[in-house]
Structure 1
Amino acid sequence: MREPVAPARTLSGAVYAEIRSDILAGRYTPGSKLSPRVIATQSKVSLSVVREALTRLTEQGLVISEPQLGFSVVGLDIDDVRDLSRVRILIEGAALKDAVLNADVEYEAGIVASHHRMVRNAPAVDDGTERVTDEWARAHAEFHRALISACPSPRLRDLADSMRETAELYRRWSGSFPTQQAPRDVSAEHRGLMDAALDRDAELAARLLTVHMNNTAALLERYVAADRTQPDIGLVTDADGAAS
């Protein structure tokens, strides 16, 4: 009896998740080429499945596609960092203000629970530093999603989620290299956001979110100005995680 063949969409989703995880973990370096044929061979799937996965990653801003050149991992582009931060502040800030203005007890409980999971998922390693894991990244995304969960506009929430996905790689980079500046207390930034939302202070929450996102962009800008080599993706220096 023949083994059942997995649906192409299921295979594409699995390949997408694998490539995305490899990019975020730094197993594919920024700007490196992605060969659909090599990935298809390694994953034992068809070229069409890999191309579908890479196209999805392109839509999220983790991969770029150029005529005659094919697919490659996005590079560190400070102009894109600034533009992405500006758009995220506009979209997620508006969603956060609407959410706080429509807050109820369930909204508050979701924020507290997601913040607790984010803190608990910060992993320790042998050398005393901490590295962003997929578990922490999911908990971090859940926290930011909880902050805007009471926003009455599904489209605004979806846009904020999409922008957050696009920013994920930059976010991991932002906490991965040393800085001459005072250490960034990301956990305090997250606590401040939680407290402002629980106090139902929409204006303060939006201002803190702006600072939170701008801090990430500023770290990356200092990194580019220092002309360093690519960061060790995933390294963080704070007990709560990497960045916005």
Structure 2
Amino acid sequence: MLTPTNAAHLLSSRTMAATLEDLVRRDIITGSLLPGSKLRVKELGERYGAGAIPLREALSRLCATGFVVAVDQKGFRVADISLEELVDITETRQDIERLAIVRAIRRRDTQWEGNVLSAHHQLQRLSVYEPQESNRLNPEWEVAHNRFHTVLIAGCQSERLTHFAMLLRDQTARYRHLSATAPHAHDRNLANEHDAIVHAVLSHDVELASSLLVEHFGRTTKLVAAALEVRLSKVT
């Protein structure tokens, strides 16, 4: 029988697992937990000050989203990264968000357009890179960037489209961090890219907005490819 005490304990364990899921995902995205590295529950417990049960639940959840891989049911490791995976993720995201932005513009209203302007304004006020570490993305910019792209397609009014877009956006996040280390990464003018997308959206130019969004994602993939080439050259 599920007693009030047991129910409270179960709820507490699930809440902790959700918190740990966010923490581990963040450390995978930022590269604090390296691709392919083993995720030992004992070491993670010391790192996050957590017990084995909620940690295992958190890691199991991350397996479902592709950030973590279960190893023969004996343990876990961080999922590897590869150019092939990134291309697959990017092309799928391009298809989904192209459809979403087209629907959003066609179903537009003043509230959505105002939200786009607000998210864009907040994003443009922030520096892309950390002031003291030019090859690391600014965490505040990352939050604002994620919100901008979320708001941009929210007008499509489709829970399924926005859900799949969110999953893919999470998957590309750690690749975006890697793109910051690519040669000529700072030559890219992200502010101008975002400006152009917003202008096309507010002009209700469906074709231009969707093509600019697709190109925007494609440029990140090219930068990551360059960064991966540099990494591989150092290994060999």
- The TM-score bracket by the shorter chain reads 0.7 to 0.9
Alpha-carbon contact 1:196-1:205 (below 8 Å) kept: yes
1:88 matched to 2:93: yes
Q: How does 1:1-244 map to 2 (within 5 A)?
A: 7-67=12-72, 70-122=75-127, 124-126=130-132, 129=134, 131-179=136-184, 183-226=187-230, 227-229=232-234
Greater helix fraction, Structure 1 or Structure 2: 2
3-state SS in 1 of match to 2:187: coil
| Identity score, percent | 30
Secondary structure of the equivalent of 1:64? strand
Q: How many residues align?
A: 226
4+ residue runs over 4 A deviation: none
**Structure 1, 195-204 or 6-15: larger mean CA deviation:** 6-15
SS of the aligned residue for 2:54 comes to helix
The residue that corresponds to 1:237 in the other structure is none
Matches of 1:27 and 1:182, distance apart in 2: 22
Structure with more contact order per residue of length (Cα contacts < 8 Å, sep ≥ 6) = 1
Q: Distance in 1 between matches of 2:227 and 2:132?
A: 26
Tell me the distance in 2 between the aligned counterparts of 1:175 and 1:44. 31
Post-superposition CA distance 1:70-108 (Å, at most 9, x none):
322222211001100110011111011100111111111
One-letter amino acid matched to 1:166: Q
User: Following the alignment from structure 1 to structure 2, what is the Cα–Cα distance between the partners of residues 217 and 10?
Assistant: 35
Q: TM-score, normalised by structure 2?
A: 0.86
Report the CA distance between 1:21 and its aligned residue.
Answer: 2.1
- 1:26 is displaced (CA, Å) by 2.2
Question: Which ranges of structure 1 fall in alignment gaps of 5 or more residues?
Answer: 231-244
TM-score normalised by L of structure 1: 0.83
d(CA) in 2 for partners of 1:105 and 1:27? Answer: 41
Assess, with a 3 A threshold, how the Cα gap between structure 1 residues 78 and 148 changes in structure 2: closer, same or farther.
same
Please report how far the alpha carbon of residue 174 of structure 1 lies from its aligned counterpart in structure 2 after TM superposition.
Answer: 1.3
Which stretch shifts more, 60-69 or 91-100? 60-69
- Separation (CA, whole Å) in 2 of partners of 1:65 and 1:196: 43
Partner Cα separation in structure 2 for residue 164 and residue 80 of structure 1: 13
